[in-house]
Structure 1
Amino acid sequence: MPKKSFREKLTDALIDEAAEEIMDIEEIESDDDAVDAVIDELADNISVVMECRRGVCSTIPKSDIWRNNILTTLDEDRFRQMLRVDRDQYNMLVHLIKNDDARIYRNSSLFQQNEQYFSSLQWIAGDSAYPLSGTLITPYRSNARQLDRNGRIAFNLRHIQDKHEKDNALNDRRL
């Protein structure tokens, strides 16, 4: 039998841990939400492992001190070897992360002083990247506990339809 890679060992450990969690759920037949939450978490964890080229995401330090004091001293080859991108790509990614739509929205007066812009019956349909607020409604996440699975699916489908209708109307006005 061939030797297992670290990625395979890590994936196996995640699956074993999830299986143990599912087996520990007392009323497994009636608690679909708990099982779904474990499976969703497993899927998220496995996707992180599979997306990471070396399989060990935690070995790359992410502190500001490291970014400002060490990363800047690396030559181009070592920089690319550690981060798998060149400096220009890295700077572009940092810029995009710092200027993502959700962050811009959270810092806007539309979010911070929403009572000036909305009545109590008005709201915006946003995607799950945005923070839920009284005036911005986002879809339910897969691990939400407020509704059963069918209720979440029904709400999210209606939410998506409503959001697409409004997006299409806005795009038609732009043309």
Structure 2
Amino acid sequence: MALDVEYQGLPKDTTNQVNAFLNYLKAQGYSHVITYGSGSWFKYGRINRSSLVDHRIWVAAYGVTEPGIANANAWQFTDNYRGLKVDASYDYDGSLSGSAATTKKAKPAYWSTNGLYEVIADHINVYGKIALDKAHQRRIHFTKGSTIYGKAVKYGKVYRIKTDVGYISANKDYVKLVRKSGDQ
């Protein structure tokens, strides 16, 4: 059972309200619960994960290459998967499917090759810094079908693509390699 917490009229610190509802769900026999909310609500303490009666969280964060919250159980990364106007999420540990004990953590795959890339997502944001955080998001983006030459740059355990106008994600769900550098 997922608790969807995103109503803007909730208090600035809504953890107590979330816990009250989680406790109610558990009292009704729902032992497998998860709290869904915007990455910013978890990041800035509107929902304090460490104080939740159940620490499983499902983070919504679009236009980025990772949920931005350490050890999130699930990540909703788009509301327009492959242009179909449907939500899509990674269920890292089975918290959404209910198979947490048997499901291995699914991780996005990244390109690590220099070359020509084509955007396969609806759009992809461009960032001024390699971290791809909201504070450095540029006013430009590439739309589906755009082609961009870029250099793959390692950033921690993942890759980014450095273009002439900034950095983009190297996530294989967002871009595909059309041609490696040096290929004719």
Calculate the TM-score normalised by the size of structure 2. Answer: 0.23
Give the strand-richer structure, 1 or 2.
2
